[in-house]
Amino acid sequence: MGANQLYKSPIKRCLYGNTLTEQLEQLGTDKQLEQFAAARQRLAGDPYRPAYHFVAPQGKMNDPNGLCFWHDRFHLFYQAYPDEAGRRQHWGHAVSEDLVYWQDLPLAIYPDIERKCFSGSTLVESDRVIAIYHGKQAGNMIAVARDPLLLNWEKLPGNPVIPIVEADDSGYPYRVFDPCIWVEEDGYYALSGTQKDGGNRSMRFRKDCQMVEHLFFSKDLQSWRYEGQFVDGGRYTQRGEDGAVPYFWPLGDKHILLFASHMRGSQYFLGDYDRARRKFKPFLHGRFNFGPIGHGGVHAPSATPDGHGGCYVIHNMNEGIEPCGWRQIMSLARVLTLRPDHTLGIEPIRSMDKLRTTPKRVGPMLLEANRETVLDDIRGNTIEINAIIDPQDANQLSLDVLRSPDLSEFTSINFLRNAHASYRTCELAHKDAIVIDTSRSSLRSDILSRPPEIAPFELHESEDLHLRIFIDRSVVEVFINGRQCLAQRVYPQRPDSLGLSIQSRGRQSVLRELTCWQMKSIW
């Protein structure tokens, strides 16, 4: 085997037609898709396999990659680990018209000169989609597709276009890892997300490292010039955090840089982009994962513009038990917007509504202090709950979901007054907090324990608390007042852990209304 095919995938790659009609006809008898369909059917009975969150058809899945909109469809790529390739990462592929219902497509990008196809992003142009990703043991790679379903990816002949270079122990001149790409009037720009300092040159694990994003420029996608470090001023992340899987997009009249660290998971900067200096100066940092990255945490993002000044983002989520037969899921697609006060708006996509069925409503209802109210008519483990609560002077509100009748299992979602403190401009800013506590979610002996997930949140004066809670067998995803979101994996053992209760602590509050829908499967 020649050096140019050092790590060529053993999986046969098919060539598909160039029209949608031809491609759909070929996919009807595609062997990979037959294999995927059989695997989905075989795994469908797993009680923890989600019904309406995307999960790979088989085996292990990792980072989402290259989320984009092309020819009236959304495309999601992800790290797939085919057994036939020695579990080396390829880019898996799924397509959707609404970011809700997904259809499997064949593997998209295969290893060749690179040992594994690591994470990256896409750029949609008028006549093609450009994918940039990290090729393990090679560098950053580019592939291009022009066909209707993005089935036929061709790699540029000059790959790796940004080769791995020898860096010193401090990470200089730069380390090459997960990239993203965008285009401006003068040419293409790419970030390569990684770390500096910390001594260890490998990606695991650097307890003293700092995150950094390296900027590169090219006019032709083939020759790239190093422009220096991209993020200007202010350290918001902790020591030990790197800047993997970056996504840089406009957001209103500002810009957002999404990234993940291998210590704390998915997060973001909001800031100003200085085009003259090619520097990004953040003024706000936030997280999508509030504890360790493992044991059920929110891992890495993939994002694409929504066409209205915001962007869509999808994250992968880690397991909270030792996996059996499959691994990891994707979060729901979220809409990120710039709010008038230059903070981040975070909401589920509107098309989630089409999964709702058999609604049940409760309220208004007075919640007496320190008394648990079990809502007997609200039950399920594939549901959406929409609750509006006036907390009045209560210092804590609790909703216990996936609750067994004897309280041996439940997952607690809590609103806490003045429970989260952060320093801002040398003044102590007291904030409220939203908490997901999974410490009593399961009786299983193999649960990977995790401290409560605590997210900062500030409920404005005279504002009701609005919770949208999505429960899907092994995941609880909570959106709060369109400004915060947190999620955790959960694994109830008892088949009757389906209930819901609500409680006001300290003082009374009022449940204005609560609606629960059973949610249809996307498969």
* Lowest-confidence segment of 172-176, 199-203, 489-493 by average pLDDT: 199-203
pTM summary value: 0.95
- Cβ distance 312 to 67 under 8 Å? yes
Sign, CA dihedral 366-367-373-377, equals positive
Q: pLDDT at position 326, please?
A: 94
509 vs 515: CA distance, rounded Å: 18
Q: pLDDT at position 196, please?
A: 86
Confidence of residue 43 (pLDDT cuts 50, 70, 90): very high
Give the angle 128-133-138 at the CA atoms, nearest 5°: 125
The set of long-range contacts for 17-22, using a CB threshold of 8 Å and a minimum separation of 24, is: 17/147, 18/146, 18/147, 18/148, 18/152, 19/148, 20/71, 20/148, 20/149
DSSP string, 413-465: EEEEEEEEEEEETTEEEEEEEEEEE-TTS---TT----PPEEEEE-PPTTPPE
How many CB atoms within 10 Å of residue 510? Answer: 17
Whether the predicted pLDDT of 427 surpasses 50: no
- Cβ distance 331 to 347 under 8 Å? no
Higher model confidence: residue 2 or residue 47?
A: 47
pLDDT in tens, 338-391: 999 999 999 999 999 999 999 999 989 999 999 999 999 999 999 999 999 999
Q: pLDDT at position 45, please?
A: 93
Sign, CA dihedral 456-263-99-401, equals negative
Name the DSSP class of 21: H
Whether the predicted pLDDT of 443 surpasses 90: yes
DSSP string, 176-201: --SEEEEEETTEEEEEEEEEE-SS--
Q: Could you give the C-alpha distances from 82 to 4, 36, 53, in angstroms and in order?
A: 22, 11, 21
Strand pairing category for 103-109 and 117-124: unpaired
Residue 66 lies in a domain: yes
Residue 317 lies in a domain: no
Which residue is it, tokens 């993203």?
A: 180
Q: pLDDT at position 201, please?
A: 47
Q: Which of 103, 122, 141 is the last residue of a domain?
A: 122
Q: Which of 71, 96, 122 is the last residue of a domain?
A: 122
Q: Which residues contact 257 (CB under 8 A, 6 or more apart)?
A: 213, 231, 246, 247, 248, 268, 269, 271, 280, 282
Q: Could you give the C-alpha distances from 50 to 56, 429, 442, in angstroms and in order?
A: 11, 38, 17
Q: What is the largest CA-CA distance in the chain?
A: 74
Confidence of residue 206 (pLDDT cuts 50, 70, 90): low
Whether the predicted pLDDT of 425 surpasses 70: no
DSSP string, 269-298: EEEEEETTTTEEEEEEEEES--S-STTT-E
Residue 387 lies in a domain: yes
- Cβ distance 150 to 178 under 8 Å? no
Look at phi and psi of residue 185 and say left if phi exceeds 0, alpha if psi is from -120 to 50, else beta: alpha
Q: Which of 78, 106, 122 is the last residue of a domain?
A: 122
Across the strands, what pairs with 103?
95
Q: Could you give the C-alpha distances from 128 to 144, 152, 168, 220, 245, in angstroms and in order?
A: 7, 11, 37, 14, 22
Average pLDDT over residues 249-261: 97
Q: pLDDT at position 421, please?
A: 63
How many domains, the chain?
Answer: 2
Q: 3-class SS at 93?
A: strand
Higher model confidence: residue 426 or residue 207?
A: 207
Residue 333 lies in a domain: no
Amino acid at 235: R
Domain span at residue 409?
350-519
Q: pLDDT at position 233, please?
A: 76
Residue 168 lies in a domain: no
Residue 20 lies in a domain: yes
Q: What percent of the chain has pLDDT over 70?
A: 95
pLDDT in tens, 108-146: 999 999 999 999 999 999 999 999 999 999 999 999 999
Whether the predicted pLDDT of 205 surpasses 60: no
Q: What percent of the chain has pLDDT over 90?
A: 86
- Cβ distance 7 to 112 under 8 Å? yes
Whether the predicted pLDDT of 428 surpasses 60: no
- Cβ distance 399 to 469 under 8 Å? yes
Whether the predicted pLDDT of 159 surpasses 80: yes
Query: Going along 322-395, which residue ranges are E strands?
Result: 326-327, 329-330, 334-338, 344-348, 356-362, 365-367, 373-374, 382-390
How many CB atoms within 10 Å of residue 345? Answer: 18
Whether the predicted pLDDT of 234 surpasses 80: no
pLDDT in tens, 68-109: 999 999 999 999 999 898 889 999 999 999 999 999 999 999
Element (H, E) at 494: none
Residue 482 lies in a domain: yes
Q: Which residues contact 207 (CB under 8 A, 6 or more apart)?
A: 198, 239, 240
CATH of the domain at 500: 2.60.120.560
Compute the mean pLDDT over every residue in the chain, rounded to the nearest whole number.
Answer: 94
Confidence of residue 4 (pLDDT cuts 50, 70, 90): low
Q: pLDDT at position 200, please?
A: 46
258 vs 64: CA distance, rounded Å: 13
pLDDT in tens, 190-200: 999 888 886 54
Residue 143 lies in a domain: no
Q: Phi and psi for 37 in degrees, rounded to 5?
A: -65, -40
Q: Which residues contact 383 (CB under 8 A, 6 or more apart)?
A: 470, 471, 516, 517, 518, 519
